[in-house]
Structure 1
Amino acid sequence: MKNFVEQDCEMRLLVAPGCSIGVATRLSYDLRDPYAVHVDFHVGTHAPVTWLFARELLAQGAFGPCGQGDVRIWPAGTGARRMLCIALAVPDGQALLQAPPAVVERWLQRTYRLVPPGHETRLIDVEQGLCGLLGKSA
């Protein structure tokens, strides 16, 4: 059994009203971090720019506006023009990306087959984590 689910897709980075550029993107989900998704943006540097946020945030954003602060997600458009908007903010600026919702939704369904929503805690060893934080062995 695989311990991860990955999906490559192209997102659109909005650089000006009506103007966007394609950004190669990889969505990743790993059993070792069951609440999180990793989104790698390949922007021409040696290493991708990686954002980490809650899988639940991405799932909720497919149906309505959600998120606060650094990551906000909402659906936009209808029919063939439907997009999933992802706003990312850092102290130096912000980026607005559009993701293909069908690709994201299919990928989320694959992550749910690996770990159904609400079952994430079964994969976390709380005792070991606390011992690590307290500098003790489990």
Structure 2
Amino acid sequence: MEPSSTKGTKMKQTKTAQIITESVALEFVDPQGDTTELEADLVFDPADPFAVTMVFRTGAQEVHWTFGRELLVEGLYEPTGDGDVHVWPCLSSNGSAVVIVELCSPDGELLVQASSRAVNQFVNRMLASVPDGQESAFVDFDSELARILAS
């Protein structure tokens, strides 16, 4: 609790939750439609409750791509996204339900597909940890403001 000069004490009401990581097998889809297996992690950190990160493991390096968590939530059921990230449900070449994630940057584009079941499992764990509409309860606004002012 922090002392307040006018009304006794005030309580900081920031909630905490565990970081969620789900390893997923992805398939990189090239412009010809051929696929190559790729390993990645989906990561949700409640300290940044509006975002998820895809961590691509490419040998000795990792590539991190962070985007709005609502894109994964909505992309399970309908096409969504604007700008650099697009997500939509689809069927793979063998008829399995997949989620397509398209990532665009000035350096190029990446199109990957993941099992809808794996993405849904991650989304369910994420929403159980930080329910939709409750994200702001997990933001430490004082720390965020201090970080911004320090830059």
Give the structure-2-normalised TM-score.
Answer: 0.81
CA drift at 1:27:
0.7
Residue 76, structure 1, aligned to residue 90, structure 2: yes
Residue 25, structure 1, aligned to residue 40, structure 2: yes
Q: What is residue 121 of structure 2 aligned with on the other side?
A: 106
Structure 1 segments of 4+ aligned residues over 3 angstroms from their partners = none
Q: Which amino acid aligns with 1:54?
A: G
CA drift at 1:59:
0.6
Secondary structure of 1:38's aligned partner = strand
* Partner of residue 15 from structure 1, selected from 7, 18, 30: 30
Secondary structure of 1:134's aligned partner = helix
CA drift at 1:134:
3.3
Larger radius of gyration: 2
Listed as ranges, the gaps of 5+ residues in structure 1 are none
Q: What is residue 77 of structure 2 aligned with on the other side?
A: 63
CA drift at 1:131:
4.0
How many positions carry a matched residue from both structures? Answer: 134
CA drift at 1:73:
0.5
Residue 96, structure 1, aligned to residue 92, structure 2: no
Q: Which amino acid aligns with 1:35?
A: F
Secondary structure of 2:82's aligned partner = coil
Secondary structure of 1:42's aligned partner = strand
Q: What is residue 100 of structure 2 aligned with on the other side?
A: 85
Secondary structure of 2:70's aligned partner = helix
Identity %: 30
Q: Which amino acid aligns with 1:28?
A: V
Is the Cα contact below 8 Å between 2:17 and 2:46 reproduced in 1? no
Listed as ranges, the gaps of 5+ residues in structure 2 are 1-15
Residue 43, structure 1, aligned to residue 58, structure 2: yes
Q: Distance in 2 between matches of 1:7 and 1:128?
A: 27
Secondary structure of 2:112's aligned partner = strand
CA RMSD of aligned residues (A): 2.0
Q: Distance in 2 between matches of 1:132 and 1:43?
A: 31
Q: Which amino acid aligns with 2:46?
A: L
Structure 1 residues 87, 31: closer, same or farther in 2, change over 3 A?
same
Give the structure-1-normalised TM-score.
Answer: 0.88
Residue 133, structure 1, aligned to residue 148, structure 2: yes
Q: Which amino acid aligns with 1:77?
A: L
